[in-house]
Amino acid sequence: MAKRVTRSSAAAAVVKKEHHSPPRPSHTPRKRAVSEQDVKARKKVKTENQNETGMLSPIASDDLSTRAAFPTKPPSSKAKTASDLQSRKLKSYAQFANESPFPDFSRPTPAECKLAHRILASLHGPRTRPKEIVASTTRAGCGDSPSVLDALVRTILSQNTSDVNSTRAKLSMDKVYGGSDKWDAIVAGGQAKLQEAIKCGGLSAVKSKVIINILNQSFEKYGEYSLDHLHQASSDDAMQEMLSFQGVGPKTASCVLLFCLQRESFAVDTHVWRITGLLGWRPKNASRDETHAHLDAKIPDEDKYGLHILLVTHGKRCEECKAGGKNLGKCELRRAFRAGKIEGEAGEDVKKEEIEEVKKEDQ
Residues designated catalytic: 251
Within 10 angstroms of residue 135's Cβ, the number of other Cβ atoms is 16
Quote the CA–CA distance of 237 and 226 in Å, as a whole number. 16
Q: What is the DSSP letter of 127?
A: -
Return all residues near 287 (Cβ < 8 A) that are at least 6 apart.
Answer: 59, 61
In Å, how far are 76, 166, 289, 325 from 63, measured between CA atoms? Answer: 22, 17, 12, 26
Helix (H, G, I), strand (E, B) or coil at 123: helix
In Å, how far are 41, 70, 304 from 266, measured between CA atoms? Answer: 41, 30, 5
Quote the CA–CA distance of 205 and 126 in Å, as a whole number. 38
Question: How many CA atoms does the CB half-sphere of 171 hold within 13 Å?
Answer: 12
Quick check: 336 and 299 in contact, CB under 8 A? no
Quote the CA–CA distance of 102 and 260 in Å, as a whole number. 29
Quote the CA–CA distance of 292 and 273 in Å, as a whole number. 8
